[in-house]
Chains A and B, each alone.
Chain A
Amino acid sequence: MSDLTRRQLLKLGAAGAGATALTPLANPLGFDLRLAKKREMTFRIAGAKEVHSLCPYCAVGCSLIAYTKQDANGKTQLLQIEGDPESPVNEGRLCPKGATAMQLATSSRRVEKPLYRAPGSKDWEPKSWDFMLDKIAANLKASRDNTFVAQDANGNVVNRTEGVAFAGGAAFSSEEGYFATKMMRTLGIVHIEQQARV
């Protein structure tokens, strides 16, 4: 199959669909792909653990079943993602994005280490989490203290940090978003935004 281009595959699919209408088991390749496919899937997820997740892309909220297995080192390996047939939302169906969610999940393009770019620098430097978090915490405190307004010109208590903004989170869990809201407000931050407006 890997030698087929996408266009050829689509052609075959179309021919297959046409032929199916006449003789249900006919197939341009001369054998029943469905059986072969089924066997392949059986092997792929045999003995795997079924875990429930959701599609990370749009807000239809398609349920996913992820199949995992422990490898020889005890590390959990993701074997397959498919639509969850039990869901009243998607009834097992997925779109091209959802169907390729596994490639996002197991991307080799991830940022592996925290990266720091000093002012004016042309490059990233890999740094430890401690380095990053300490420095960001110091920046956050300094910017808060620099731009904090306790009372406005009319004498109103406003307790706001004007010079820091937080934007984020249309793709992380609700509970993470809630924690962010609580923490940012507590720091006095008023510029708080997410994807809803844009």
Chain B
Amino acid sequence: MTNHWRDIRHADVILINGANPAEAHPVGFQWFIKAKLDPTKGPGSGGGAKIIHADPRYTRTSALADTYLRIRTGTDVAYFGGLINYVLQNNLYHDEYVKNYTNASFIVKEGFDFTDGLFSGYDKSTRSYNISTWAYETDGDPLAGPAGTTQAKAKRDMTLAHPRSVFQLMKKHYSRYTPEMVSSITGIPAQQFLDVAKIVGEMGRPDKVMTIVYAVGLTHHTTGGQLIRSGALLQLILGNMGRPGGGMNAERGHANIQGNTDHAISWEILPGYLRIPAPGQKTLDQYVAASAAKKSDPNSWNFFGTNYKNFMVSLLKAWYRGAAQPANEFAFDFIPKPAVNSSWMSIYDQALKGKMEGVILNGMTATSIGPDSNQVLQGLAKLKWLVVMDPLPTTSSEFWRAPGLSPADIKTEVFMLPTTHWIEKDGSFVNSGRWSQWKEQVIPPEGDARHDHWIFAELFDRVKTLYRQQGGKFPDPIMAMTLDYADPKKPLLDEIAREINGKDLSTGLQMTSFANLKADGTTTAGDWIYTGSYTPAGNLMKRRSGISDPAKNDPTGMGFYPNWAWSWPLNRRVMYNRASADLAGKPWDPKRPGIQWNGTTWVGDVPDYPATMDPKDPAAWLPFIMNGEGVGRLFSSSMNDGPLPEHYEPVEAPIPNPLHPNQSEDPVAFLYDAAAGRPNRFGKVDKYPYVATSYRLTEHEHYVTQHVPLLVGLQPQAFVEVPEELAAEKGIKNGDRVRVSSERGKLEVAALVTKRLGPVTLAGNVKSYTIGIPIHWGFIGVSAERNPELSKNWLANALTPFVGDANARTPEFKAFLVNIEKIS
């Protein structure tokens, strides 16, 4: 989230796409309802915030929304695109913000083009783009600044009239997203869409603000990255980024998914979103030149790009202290450099190819998570060894005796290591709003269970001993890794939290801000975005000044509660908050200030800006200090499948793309099976006429709650939701057993016949049904044990396609084709 949970109550309009917060984040949803019940919020003269929910399924979120739009899954680029078009065509954008706080005025190079669904530079043979034309026209000599972080000044036209200005290119691009086209793609009736567009359009007024809330319903698509960007573009032209009550707010699904993303349990980054180095980068300077954003305006601070090397060197010093010296580029060679994408599906893809020997699954069960559970099972069966670390049995620890598999044939050596529960250890969880909250150990470890990090530390120690005794490939980093803990085999989470924050090696004192990190090897920071969380004042994540004393603990009255836990970066509660104030530093809406300039300093939230920089100073930095442009990017060269979002159909779709039927799917979506030479396993409408989408229920969390009897009691058995009209056509009654099949597998579960799902009309006259598939069941857990026969085909992800988003390689869990039949 750019903002945080409590902040949502400041919104006038809440646009919800690809999310169902009333059921998936019920306690967070209270802040939506607070906004709705607040008469000072809302469009026009107020009367309460308006909640607009676009979803294929009518959920409890829809029930509490002011408007529910039945949208076909995977078409939100078109929906957002239609809203963007409406705002641009009717001049409803926030003019001052668009001109000064976005790259609308930047001139794009000649040669940039978009025709028949393809941007300039596409190479069909490699399914990728040469992005050289997705760039700004520049002027004059390179700007001053550190090596690799500067370029020449980008040309701008502040009137926005230049035909190659981002603004005009964007206007042209989106002009195709008329209400009729939106309706044709999404299934939302054009008039209903226009009613929503009018409300959204009003949010371009400086005294109004809208938030966009989304979850994995937007990310789990081959166009996932562009789905999110579409929302961000809408928020930028409405002037809603950086403001309380605004922003792009991802509701994350697991207790510490945010913290462990920040700390880079993710192949493409190092802690703090530093890029993983690539082969060919021999020096730190080469790495920085290839990785850091480049400054394209003299008034752009480009803080991240400018400090990239400081952060990287401080990380290397944290990891390899004495072995990281200027003479060896601070042990830059110790960081492995992947040749190819190494994300989730790639692990099983490599296993299927026989190239993966061992996998460690720690609190994740590949079998259930999928996609394409049957293929994942084949992948696991090809491993030499599998380690599962979990407090409870999982569909992966037990994969070798999954229904239909023969244990004798599976040669994988499997280790099940019982780990401790969250409540048996301390440490921080970072919530969706980036609040790092510390928890205490409540009870001691159960039985023989061990903490995950103590297992890692023991394992590391034993591997190190083996290298010391036997030698082996490049043991240098293993020997050099810093283990600055009282007991290296049992590090305390408190000690690790201190390491993450980092220290000044010359004084030994904890760092207070990442602005002070250096590239000369005198500072450490395990994750620079957490520098400031554990200062000489102590562990700030433990702070508990909460709501019992709002006058003291929430001095701005904006709900920031700055002394409750700690929020990255630097305890800032709303990211990009310089953009919450106008050029002179006055809040766009004085009733909802983020930060404001009081003549000598910025006050309010922790400013995303130098605290004493006078906004009227001609040398003042542009508002978005973290990127090279200094402004929000409507047009960006950082995406693989286009500088502007475009609607592409899911890989399995019920209709050809109404915009460009000859380029129906995302041209850069990654087709794993095709790339590996395996047979194509995508289905078409003739055999699989229904759209399917998967989701979560309130009473379950992924798969672990299959072990919680109370929750199993509330949602006891696997089911799919079937629209009433379709059920009638198929002779399926509520409670009947049905078989749902895709080109990849089948699900045999109970049918829940419902009005919550219904048909949409696409492309003028195509009636399309959606079947809803909760993901929570499998062959492990309380209900599987109670129903051993029924539960054989309960893995929802047996159906999902093995295909990845063009940018993030996120699987397309949320849109695929199936058939359904009654089991007689």
Contacts and interface: CB of A to CB of B under 8 A. Distances in A.
Partners in one complex: yes
A159 to B, nearest CB: 5
A191 B364 CA distance: 15
Given A53-B422, A111-B390, A178-B263, A120 B415 contact: no
A88 B564 contact: yes
A121 interface: yes
Contact of B810 (A96, A134, A198): A198
B408 A94 contact: no
Interface string B704-746: 1101111101100000000000000000000000000000000
A143 interface: yes
Please tell me the size bucket of the interface on B. 35 or more
Given A122-B401, A158-B279, A191-B347, A175 B698 contact: no
B407 A175 contact: no
Contact of B416 (A91, A115, A178): A115
Please tell me the size bucket of the interface on A. 35 or more
Nearest to A127: B415
A168 B25 CA distance: 22
Interface stretch (A16-24, A25-33, A35-43, A145-153): A145-153
Contacts of B704: 104, 171
A78 interface: yes
A178 B437 contact: no
A78 B255 contact: no
A173 B493 contact: yes
Interface in A80-137: 83-91, 93-98, 100-101, 103-105, 107, 109-122, 124, 129, 132-137
B156 to A, nearest CB: 36
Contact of B439 (A53, A58, A104): A53
A15 interface: no
A156 interface: yes
B448 A58 contact: no
Given A97-B711, A175-B453, A190-B336, A136 B363 contact: no
Given A120-B408, A159-B337, A180-B452, A63 B265 contact: no
A166 to B, nearest CB: 5
Contacts of B411: 119-120
B423 A78 contact: yes
B708 A110 contact: no
Interface string B444-458: 101111111101111
Contact of B447 (A53, A112, A172): A112
A183 B481 contact: yes
Contact of A174 (B410, B428, B698): B428
Nearest to B553: A88
A5 B14 CA distance: 38
B260 interface: yes
Contact of B336 (A6, A118, A188): A188
B357 A146 contact: yes
B459 interface: yes
Given A171-B254, A179-B496, A191 B267 contact: yes
B42 interface: no
A90 B546 CA distance: 11
A154 B813 CA distance: 37
Contact of A197 (B333, B390, B442, B809): B809
A162 to B, nearest CB: 7
Contact of A157 (B258, B333, B364): B333
Contacts of B339: 152, 158, 160
A193 B267 contact: yes
A61 interface: yes
Contacts of B456: 176, 179-180, 183
A52 B457 CA distance: 26
B335 A185 contact: yes
A164 interface: yes
Q: At the interface, is chain A mostly helix, strand, loop or mixed?
A: mixed
A178 B428 CA distance: 11
B559 interface: yes
Most A C-beta atoms less than 10 A away, residue of B279, B435, B444: B279
Given A111-B391, A154-B279, A95 B27 contact: yes
A87 B547 contact: yes
Given A133-B459, A180-B453, A183-B456, A105 B258 contact: no
Nearest to B26: A95
B421 A56 contact: yes
Nearest to A191: B342
A61 B255 contact: yes
A126 B220 CA distance: 39
Contacts of B257: 59, 170, 194-196
Contact of A113 (B334, B427, B447): B447
Nearest to A157: B333
B347 A55 contact: no
B529 to A, nearest CB: 11
B265 A87 contact: no
B175 interface: no
Contacts of B337: 156-160, 190
A9 to B, nearest CB: 12
B265 A180 contact: yes
Contacts of B267: 190-193
B452 A105 contact: no
A152 B337 CA distance: 10
Most A C-beta atoms less than 10 A away, residue of B333, B416, B419: B416
Contacts of A89: 5-6, 27-28, 431, 433, 435
Contacts of B28: 58, 60, 89
A7 interface: no
Contact of B698 (A95, A107, A119, A172): A95
A129 B481 contact: no
Contacts of A53: 422-423, 439-440, 442
Given A78-B443, A178-B526, A104 B705 contact: yes
Most B C-beta atoms less than 10 A away, residue of A104, A137, A165: A165
A158 B478 CA distance: 15
Contacts of A198: 344, 369-371, 810-811, 813
Contacts of B371: 198
Given A54-B429, A57-B255, A191-B342, 4 more contacts: A163-B358, A165-B356, A179-B456, A192-B264
6 contacts: A6-B713, A117-B413, A148-B473, A170-B255, A170-B256, A191-B346
Closest 9 CB pairs of A and B: A173-B427, A168-B362, A61-B431, A170-B254, A174-B259, A86-B546, A137-B462, A177-B260, A59-B252
